[in-house]
Amino acid sequence: MAAAAITAATAAPASAATYRYDLKLTYLGTTYYDLQGAVPIDEWNDDYVAEDRFLADGNSYGLPVLNPRLNPGDQTSFSAALYTPDGPDVLDDSGFGNGGQVKWCVLAGIICTEGFNYVRSDLAEIRLRSWDTELLDAGLVEGGLLTYTFNLGYRSFLTTEIGSFDFKDRTANFTIDEVSVRDVSSVPVPASGALLLGAMGIFAARRRKNRA
């Protein structure tokens, strides 16, 4: 397992910043917490399900996982550009958002850009929130965990071809194998662009002089 590499010039600034994250991960599985369900046996009887923790990969109930193409132990990745505002713990009128923004986000081949209204990210951790439905947390160290909770509501209900279920949380878990972080808050103007801007300034100055 390669050593974690965090590429940034300085420690996380107190001011607003945008970071680009590229993480290599190992998928551990999708777990349902406080799972309840009823599976019909015949016209009159049901088989009841009650699990505190239920690993859903390969399950016989038809419960969806984050990405059905992945199996526990598979290698995958997380990439994102995340904007954290000044004073990230100051919430808006909703009591949930902080003005942060997920510019783009892909986890295990799944786009996760929409929905998050709270963003707190730096060189050490990532914390994303969306009311009670979506949460993403990662401590940015090799061997650490990235967890992504994707619920349907405060208490989630769903029906599959096998039965009807409800659960408290549904979380995809990953081990972090490698970390790369870059501060992309300001992108420098290429040399050619700087020369063009300078030439435009000289041209504008000459026009003003000629008019005078």
- Residue pair 111/94 in contact (Cβ under 8 Å)? The answer is no
205 backbone dihedrals φ, ψ, rounded to 5°: -65, -40
| pLDDT surpasses 80 at 140 | yes
| Token pair of 144 as six digits | 């650490």
Among 75, 26, 71, residue whose Cα is nearest residue 175:
26
Whole-model pTM over 0.85: no
Q: Which residue has the tokens 């009887």?
A: 45
Angle, CA 161 vertex, CA 156 and CA 163 arms, to 5°: 55
- CA angle at 30 for the pair 24 and 35, rounded to the nearest 5°: 160
Instruction: Report pLDDT digits (tens) over 30-65.
Output: 999 999 999 999 989 999 999 999 999 999 999 999
Q: Measured between alpha carbons, how far is residue 183 from residues 30, 84, 90, 111, 194 in Å?
A: 31, 11, 22, 22, 21
Q: How far, in Å, CA of 97 to CA of 4, rounded?
A: 31
Give mean pLDDT, residues 80-103. Answer: 76
Contact 162, 39 (CB under 8 A): yes
Strands in 41-124 per DSSP E: 46-55, 75-84, 101-107, 110-111, 118-121
pLDDT in tens, 142-183: 999 999 999 988 889 999 999 999 999 999 999 999 999 999
Q: Is it the case that residue 16 has pLDDT exceeding 60?
A: yes
The phi, psi pair for 66, rounded to 5°, reads: -60, -50
Of 173, 71, 91, 84, nearest to 131 (Cα)? 91
What's the pLDDT tens digit per position in 17-35?
999 999 999 999 999 999 9
